[in-house]
Amino acid sequence: MFAQNGLIRKSVIAMIFLLVFGFSERLSAQQQDPNKQKGFFEMSIEELMDIEVYTASKYKQNIHRAPASVTIITADDIRLYGYRTIADILQSVRGFYVFYDRNYSYLGARGFAPAADYYNRVLVLVDGHRISENIGGSTFFGNDFLLDVELIERVEIVRGPASSLYGADAMFGVVNIITKNGKDYKGTEVAGRIASYQTQKERLTYGNIFDNGLDILVSASNYSSDGHKLYYSEFDDPSTNNGEVDNDGERARDIFAKITFGDWSLTTANVARKKKIPTASFSQVFNDDRSQTLDKITLVGLTYNHEFSDKFSVTGKVTYYQYDYDGRYPTDYANPGEPPDIQNNKDMWRGQWWQSELMLTAQPFEKHKITWGGEFHYNAKEHQKNWDTDVYSDDNRHTRNWSVYAQDEYSIFDNLTLNAGVRYDEYQAVGSTINPRIGLIYNYSDKTTLKLLYGEAFRAPTSYERYCSYVDYQKTNPTLGPETIKTYEVVLEHELDKDTKITATGFYYRLKDLIAKEIDPSDELSVFENTDGVSGKGAEFEIEKKWKNGMRGRASYSYVQTELVDTHEILTNSPKHLAKFNLIVPVIKDKLFAGIETQYTGDAKIYNGGYIGGFGVTNLTLTYQDLIKNLEVAFGVYNVFDKKYGYSGSGDHVQDSIEQDGRTFGVKLTYRF
Amino acid sequence: MKIKAYIFVVVVPVLFIGPKARADSAASLEYQVKAAFLYNFIKFVDWPKEKAADPNTPLTIGIIGKDPFESAFEPLQEKEARDKKVVIQRFEGFVELEKSGKKKKDQPHPKSQDIQKCHLLFICSSESERIADIIASVKDHSVLTVGDVKDFLESGGIINFVMEEQKVRFEINITAARRAKLQIRSQLLRLAKRVIDEKDAEGNKNK
């Protein structure tokens, strides 16, 4: 905190400047012609097509008919709330919560995020392509995410089981991240951000659409941060530097390119991210600056979509994904009492997969819209290796899986739709699974919709869970079967008036064969097993509102009660209460915006059986558009009230709770030309 | 430091949420934008010489039915398109006439000659049951029919507004345009979300 004084002073001055400038703008605006705003009749058609209008009961035809509760976060939300990562975005969404262990960010949904190794029970897609790596099945939500969040057009969060359409991992929902196009830029954009702890980010983007319709977008970003000097009481001993560690630095760079032409779209993204680990996780030596992880991810996704007519369309996708992970874990192998024997343990994963999908949609009868298709997935490489002086594990294999699915959207009446789907997945050496989903959507009026849903979903055991072994520590379990979940949901969506929408949901789920790491009493080794499982039940309530002056916001509360089926104990890292509040205020119309958000996370049980207290975090971002022509300035304060809080550690941490950031500041400039 | 930060960060911006600027015009943002679209459509459509030759005859935008535009067209009083003034004419819809008891069953719509004189006719959603009738009544008079309801193009309308993620888009029925002897310029066709050509019974979507 002390090292920040200079930055705090500069930031406060910047903020005062912004507010004073804003005030004087406002005063002068009042003296001018109230129509000085560029009128709609002065705009070109392209500009008119860019304006977001809020339409009442046509809120979004798709949302109303979707057999799920959907939330959409737009590029404007991302900009005005100052979201830095996907984790920031998802943390604001009803029912979701993210946490960070100073190495990776993880996502919890519907109270489910137990302290296990990797979390992939929410399927994340970029432009429709799956982006989880094929060894641990994890998705990256921090600066290790495939692309800069400023390139995102919108994020669609579809809750509930969706394996009937998407296959594995869509247990609690699907998050589809849709990227911008060149036509959203029509030129070059450069952005620079500086923030607390010597954090800086630069981005250069070029996008354009040409007369023949060819649309190109390319972008590169670079990020670096010194991180925090941290203190962990668990290591407060002269032999471990009195608990002090200065190893929290991070660097990341990502490159993105997207080409769209006619029915074709090619999305390519590449990220390389290095993070130093300060927590001495996995029994590492404390305060050794060699402790780090390096993740490199490449995605190449090609999509073909052709509408033959109103009633028949085809989508084809081919995806290539490569994951290279290198971890360094300085570990002391000496027995107690012996002199230290420190080796820099090397952990490596090399993953590569291909996927192709064909999906057809047809409306052979007036009342039936049928979607069907198939997917083929080939894991070209699943290589895990761990070594230092000895090789502790080395496993390399390739596997494949394929699936077929079908869904019928049956319009029984104009206001009653039945959505029924089923998917069959076959995994080489694991077996097969069938997952149905059925939803009844009743549009009681054009303001009220009631949805009743039942769905099954699954998660296939990953290569890591089945084949990873460490000598004397962990063994393999090739017989692991998939986890399955059954969910029952009720969703009520109602528009109180043109500008106000409320959503209420209730759900119950039963997750069976939960894959968890246990210790086999016969040989004391860790092994992944299909355990008894978990159940959860809860309710969520949300209100979204827009005002005529452009102010808009939403507030939500979610309650969920989870328990382990055999012991009736509540799950770890499963807060019962979550509340979120978001508000965008146009302080000066079309010029100065304030984005305010507060997220409250209730008590949660932590790994050692204790509890972490509830906490609320507030973030505020002020954005000044067109400060001078084409220049935008944004000033953000995160954790405004400097709340001290932490997230649960896991079995891999000595710490029970990993403390998160206090108040931090950031200033970003964006310039278009 | 904590309290000072609180003041700067929360209280001061709140102070700026002062008295609201004067209320926006009564029409919703959606219809203000659509009004501007109608003005733009006039710029990219060519009417046959008989209808558009006289430089002193203004271009008429007719609105039939329950008018959602309210005062959205006010700025047009000062503007011109294709070197002509643009005027708005409102017609009561069948629904309104029935309510007021004026319409008799099976009577052709009154003022149909006036509707035929319009260059662009916007058919409000209140008339969605009567689209075919209205389009039939302006047949052969080179009227650019515009609507914003489902299946407007399939009923013979020329341009239909559609919403896509809270943004206004439009689709065009090129065959209906040809029937009305209207030339739609390529700049407008290019921006359409969908252009249907009844002859080929195929649609192609521009993303």
Stretch B165-187: mean pLDDT: 90
Joined tokens for residue A445: 């009026």
Put simply, the answer to whether A45 touches B205 (Cβ < 8 Å) is: no
Stretch A110-121: mean pLDDT: 75
As a whole number of angstroms, the distance between CA B11 and CA B123 comes to 49
Query: What is the average pLDDT value for chain A, to the nearest integer?
Result: 87
Put simply, the answer to whether A548 touches B24 (Cβ < 8 Å) is: yes
Stretch A397-425: mean pLDDT: 91
Residue B4, pLDDT score: 40
Of A34-38, A169-173, A185-189, A663-667, which range is least confident?
A34-38
Residue A664, pLDDT score: 96
Query: What is the average pLDDT value for chain B, to the nearest integer?
Result: 76
A367: DSSP letter: T
Is residue B23 in a domain? no
Question: Which conformational region is residue A576 in: left (phi greater than 0), alpha (psi within -120 to 50 degrees), or beta?
Answer: alpha
Instruction: Identify the H or E element spanning A80.
Output: helix A75-80
Please state, as a whole number, how many other Cβ atoms lie within 10 Å of the Cβ of residue A476. 16
Question: What percentage of chain B carries pLDDT values higher than 70?
Answer: 73
- Which chain B residues are closer than 8 Å to A592 by Cβ? 16
pLDDT category, A117, cuts 50, 70, 90? low
pLDDT at A639 over 50: yes
Give the residue from B23, B130, B125 showing the smallest Cα distance to A58. Answer: B125
pLDDT category, A649, cuts 50, 70, 90? confident
pLDDT category, A650, cuts 50, 70, 90? confident
A193 or A457, which is more confident: A193
As a whole number of angstroms, the distance between CA A165 and CA A419 comes to 12
Nearest residue, CB atoms, B191 vs list A19, A45, A53: A45
Å between A368 CA and nearest CA of chain B:
18
pLDDT digits (tens, 9 = 90+) for A513-524: 988 888 888 988
Put simply, the answer to whether B188 touches A34 (Cβ < 8 Å) is: no
Å between A525 CA and nearest CA of chain B:
50
pLDDT at A7 over 60: no
Whether the predicted interface score ipTM is above 0.95: no
Nearest residue, CB atoms, A43 vs list B36, B44, B202: B36
Domain span at residue B147?
Answer: 28-205
Put simply, the answer to whether B13 touches A642 (Cβ < 8 Å) is: no
Q: A52-221+228-672: which CATH topology?
A: Maltoporin; Chain A (2.40.170)
Nearest residue, CB atoms, A12 vs list B8, B10, B20: B8
pLDDT category, B93, cuts 50, 70, 90? confident
Put simply, the answer to whether B201 touches A54 (Cβ < 8 Å) is: no
As a whole number of angstroms, the distance between CA B32 and CA A263 comes to 32
- Which chain A residues are closer than 8 Å to B204 by Cβ? 307
Residue pair B190/B206 in contact (Cβ under 8 Å)? The answer is: yes
As a whole number of angstroms, the distance between CA A286 and CA A245 comes to 8
Question: E strands within A49-91?
Answer: 70-74
Question: Which conformational region is residue A415 in: left (phi greater than 0), alpha (psi within -120 to 50 degrees), or beta?
Answer: alpha
- Which chain A residues are closer than 8 Å to B76 by Cβ? 41
Put simply, the answer to whether B13 touches A622 (Cβ < 8 Å) is: yes
pLDDT category, A38, cuts 50, 70, 90? low
Residue pair A384/A397 in contact (Cβ under 8 Å)? The answer is: no
Q: Which residue of A has its CA nearest to B20?
A: A549
Angle at A443 between CA A438 and CA A448, to 5 degrees: 120
Residue B101, pLDDT score: 58
Instruction: Identify the H or E element spanning A78.
Output: helix A75-80
Residue B125, pLDDT score: 84
Nearest residue, CB atoms, B32 vs list A40, A50, A309: A40
Is residue B8 in a domain? no
**End-to-end CA distance of chain B, in Å?**
52
Stretch A344-368: mean pLDDT: 92
B10: DSSP letter: I
Residue B96, pLDDT score: 59
Nearest residue, CB atoms, A41 vs list B10, B76, B168: B76
- Which chain A residues are closer than 8 Å to B202 by Cβ? 308-309
Q: Which residue of A has its CA nearest to B189?
A: A45
How far does CA A436 lie from the centroid of its chain? 25
As a whole number of angstroms, the distance between CA A587 and CA A165 comes to 43
Three-state SS across A508-562? EEEEEEEEEEEEECCCCEEEEEEEEEEEEEEEEEEEEEECCCCCEEEEEEEEEEE
pLDDT category, A192, cuts 50, 70, 90? very high
Is residue B146 in a domain? yes
What is the count of residue pairs from A and B with beta carbons less than 8 Å apart? 113
Residue A580, pLDDT score: 97
pLDDT digits (tens, 9 = 90+) for A49-106: 888 765 332 223 345 567 788 899 999 999 999 999 999 999 999 999 998 999 999 9
pLDDT category, A404, cuts 50, 70, 90? very high
Å between A66 CA and nearest CA of chain B:
15
- Which chain B residues are closer than 8 Å to A50 by Cβ? 167
Q: Which of B15, B77, B165 is best to mutate for the A interface (most A CBs within 10 A)?
A: B165
Is residue B21 in a domain? no
- Which chain B residues are closer than 8 Å to A549 by Cβ? 20-21
Of A252-266, A460-474, A535-549, B92-106, which range is least confident?
B92-106
Residue A79, pLDDT score: 96
Joined tokens for residue A487: 């969910």
Nearest residue, CB atoms, B205 vs list A53, A72, A307: A307
Nearest residue, CB atoms, B2 vs list A54, A60, A642: A642
Is residue B5 in a domain? no
As a whole number of angstroms, the distance between CA B136 and CA A549 comes to 42
CATH number at residue B190: 3.40.50.2300
A523 or B159, which is more confident: B159
CATH 2.40.170.20 residue spans of chain A: 52-221+228-672
Sequence-separated contacts (24+) of B15-19 with Cβ below 8 Å: B16/A19, B16/A22, B16/A23, B16/A26, B16/A587, B16/A588, B16/A592, B17/A585, B17/A587
Nearest residue, CB atoms, B39 vs list A35, A41, A585: A41
Å between B147 CA and nearest CA of chain A:
16
Joined tokens for residue A184: 């959203």
Residue pair B10/B149 in contact (Cβ under 8 Å)? The answer is: no
Parallel/antiparallel/unpaired status of strands B167-173 and B194-197: parallel
Is residue B15 in a domain? no
Question: What percentage of chain A carries pLDDT values higher than 70?
Answer: 91
Put simply, the answer to whether B21 touches A589 (Cβ < 8 Å) is: yes
- Which chain B residues are closer than 8 Å to A264 by Cβ? none
- Which chain A residues are closer than 8 Å to B172 by Cβ? none
B106 or A604, which is more confident: A604
**Claim: this prediction has a pTM higher than 0.90:** no
Q: Which of A310, A587, A635 is best to mutate for the B interface (most B CBs within 10 A)?
A: A310
Nearest residue, CB atoms, B17 vs list A12, A46, A587: A587
Name the domain count of chain B: 1
Residues of chain B whose beta carbon is less than 8 angstroms from a beta carbon of chain A are 1-2, 5-6, 8-10, 12-13, 16-17, 20-24, 28-30, 32-33, 35-37, 39-40, 44, 75-76, 79, 163, 165-169, 188, 191, 201-207
Q: Which runs of consecutive H residues, i.e. helices, occur in chain B?
A: 2-6, 12-15, 29-43, 49-52, 94-99, 112-117, 131-137, 174-179, 186-191
Q: Which residue of B has its CA nearest to A595?
A: B13
pLDDT category, A306, cuts 50, 70, 90? confident
With H, G, I as helix, E, B as strand and everything else as coil, classify residue B80.
strand
Rounded-to-10 torsion of CA A98, A99, A102, A104: -50
Is residue B177 in a domain? yes
pLDDT digits (tens, 9 = 90+) for A420-455: 999 999 998 788 999 999 999 998 887 899 999 999
For residue A532, what are the β-bridge partners?
none
Backbone phi and psi for residue A91, each to the nearest 5 degrees, phi listed first: -65, -20
Residue pair B66/B126 in contact (Cβ under 8 Å)? The answer is: yes
Residue pair B98/B81 in contact (Cβ under 8 Å)? The answer is: no
Residue B199, pLDDT score: 67
Q: Which of A45, A55, A314, A411 is best to mutate for the B interface (most B CBs within 10 A)?
A: A45
Å between B88 CA and nearest CA of chain A:
15
Residue B200, pLDDT score: 54
Is residue B37 in a domain? yes
Q: Which residue of A has its CA nearest to B188?
A: A45
